[in-house]
Structure 1
Amino acid sequence: MPYNLSNFSMPVKLLFTGYLLAVAMGYGMALVQILFTHGMADGKAGLSLEDIVYSYYGNRSGSVLESKMNGSMKANAPDAERFQIVQWVRDGASKKEYEATIKPIVEQRCVACHNADAGGAIPDFTKFEEIAKRAESDQGATFASLTRVSHIHLFGISFIFMFVGIIFAFSTGVPLKPKCAAIVMPYIFLLLDITSWWLTKLNPHFALLVVIGGAGLGMAFVFMWIVSLYEMWVLPRKVGMDRRHSLHRS
């Protein structure tokens, strides 16, 4: 008898189900993380095309520091202190004014996270030079950060969909051609998603491709996830009940 999701042994079903549930939770946490980072780029709650443009292309009419003060970092300082920082940026971000009025705010509100021990992409705000860089025109994501995030996503998401695809491949309720399309589509949308980041960095009109790539990944994941769990746990019970009804009638 060929192996399929409905007739796998209980240990295998539990293994597959545990993986699918854990990955689904990770996917949900990733969406929440996107809302907390990119979703506040324009200073408003929720993810919009403007958020995507500001995140990758930048807000060329303002600075990174200003967009952060009105966006994802808005909750970390009172309105009056945020206004002081924004006004300092707009007035030219002079070192003299920084030492006089802005430095105490930064030390109280920012350096707990933005320090030399933070590492990664978090700037060290104990140094004036690091703050001055962020007070310049907002050019969006840097090519270095795009390279780092792109290779992490390509490796990580490819592995996730490889295992989800392996589990889904044992389904029997989906015809061959749609099944093959569902297995391949995540990789197509992943490549579109990553490519669209770089294109949006160069031209903001490509921001819609970021939405399409992300939405395609999500739909492919949800489809394979639901079908796999259905055939492991619901379908065997349904078939068993149908057989019992049939025997009862005979």
Structure 2
Amino acid sequence: MSQKYLPLKDHDTPIKVLFTGYLSAVGIGYFFALLQILFTHGMADGKFGLSVDDIVYSYYGNRSGSVLETQLNGAMKQNASTEQRFKIIQWVRDGAELNTYKADGIEAIVEERCVMCHNAQAPAGMPDFNKFEKLKALTTQDTGATFNSLIRVSHVHLFGISFIFMFVGLIFSFSETTSTKYKCIAVGMPYIFLVTDILSWWLTKINPLFAWLIILAGMGMGISFMFMWAISLSEMWLYKKIYIEAGGVYGQKLRTLYRTIFPPETGKNLLPMLSVVAKKAYEQWQHNVLPLFKNLLNRLNKPTK
């Protein structure tokens, strides 16, 4: 059967440069995205490094305390001294009243340590601590990410990351060292992991047990991305050295790694796994989310006196 596409190694040099530039840019972008996760979600429990607790605090919340307390013991821990953090937390636990805001020196601490970032010029979503009511709103129970923020971030990630994987997958589809079967798996898996990742945010908001699903989905996306990224670049510029001159040793290693990540039974195991996830999600919807919506509708339909 004749080949229906031009392999990566045979593309004109300008096309290779174009593909390489794009892959390099998104590769660097992916790296900085991981750093951003480490320094935001990864600090939710006050310790550097991403853990299940970080995920739970970010989406479900630390419901044993307030939002402000969670931030002061987590991501914002380095921005104030232990004594200052203790005073703010104690003020919150004492009721966070306006009359003690100045008397207890909380206002001075906020002006010194917080308003440099939390001000009127801050990015959207960051409260302005020059307004007491904005600070007061954070003294309530920490319930994690709000539904408004989840809606905003979900649609941005679905649109943006889908485009990234579309172009990475398109470039990878011109590779010739991977069979069509495994190409389909490699190109399709990122989208499955992406949807699973977004869905697991909402599920974790309802039940912290789903935090593990966020980590697994993120790892799956990362592995899929790196595999397509590495194969594409190696075939464009190192095809002869890796796959021919070295007797195919390096190519064989890559294929072995690929089969380890995506074994032949992947397709068989994937559907049962997704079935279990879907069943759990449906149960959570039935027992937790649906009653909330019904209660909300009842309140909206209840006639005002």
How many residue pairs get aligned? The number is 243
Shift of the alpha carbon at 1:210? Answer: 0.4
Alignment partners' CA distance in 1, 2:204 and 2:243: 50
RMSD: 1.5
Deviation digits for residues 84-136 of structure 1 (CA, Å, limit 9, x no counterpart) = 11111122212111122100110111111111221400001111111111111
**CA distance in 1: counterparts of 2:145 and 2:229, whole angstroms:** 32
The amino acid of 1:110's aligned partner reads C
**Higher RCO (CA < 8 A, seq sep 6+):** 1
Kindly report which structure 2 residues correspond to 1:33-48, keeping only aligned pairs within 5 A, or say none: 33-48=36-51
Deviation, structure 1 residue 174? 0.4
Going from structure 1 to structure 2, the CA distance change for 1:239 and 1:146 (only over 3 Å counts) comes to closer
The answer to whether 1:90 aligns with 2:93 is yes
Single out whichever of 73-82 and 17-26 deviates more from structure 2. Answer: 73-82
The answer to whether 1:153 aligns with 2:157 is yes
State how far apart, in whole Å, the 2-side matches of 1:70 and 1:242 are: 54
Residue 122 of structure 1 aligns to which amino acid in structure 2? Answer: M
- Cα separation, partners in 2 of 1:237 and 1:89, compared to 1, 3 Å: same
- Counterpart selection for 1:124 from 112, 125, 128: 128
| Residue in structure 2 matching 1:53, options 52, 56, 69 | 56
1:139 is paired with a residue whose SS is coil
Equivalent of residue 81 in structure 2, options 78, 81, 88: 78
Which consecutive unaligned segments of at least 5 residues does structure 1 have? Answer: 244-250
Instruction: Quote the Cα distance in structure 2 between the aligned partners of 1:4 and 1:140.
Output: 48
| Partner of residue 18, structure 1 | 21
Q: AA paired with 1:127?
A: K
TM-score by length of 2: 0.77
* 1:138 to 2:132 alignment: no
Distance 1:34 1:232 in 2: 31
TM-superposed deviation, 1:239: 6.1
Stretch of structure 1 that moved more, 193-202 or 114-123: 114-123
2:10 is paired with a residue whose SS is coil
Aligned to 2:192: 188
Structure 2 CA distance for aligned equivalents of residues 144 and 242 of structure 1: 54
Cα deviation, 1:156-187, whole Å, max 9, x if unaligned, reads: 10000000000000000001111101000000
Q: Structure 1 pair 238/188, CA: closer, same or farther in 2 (3 Å)?
A: closer
1:177 maps to 2:199: no
What corresponds to 1:197 in structure 2? 201
Query: Identity over the aligned pairs, expressed in percent?
Result: 60
Q: Distance in 1 between matches of 2:121 and 2:172?
A: 43
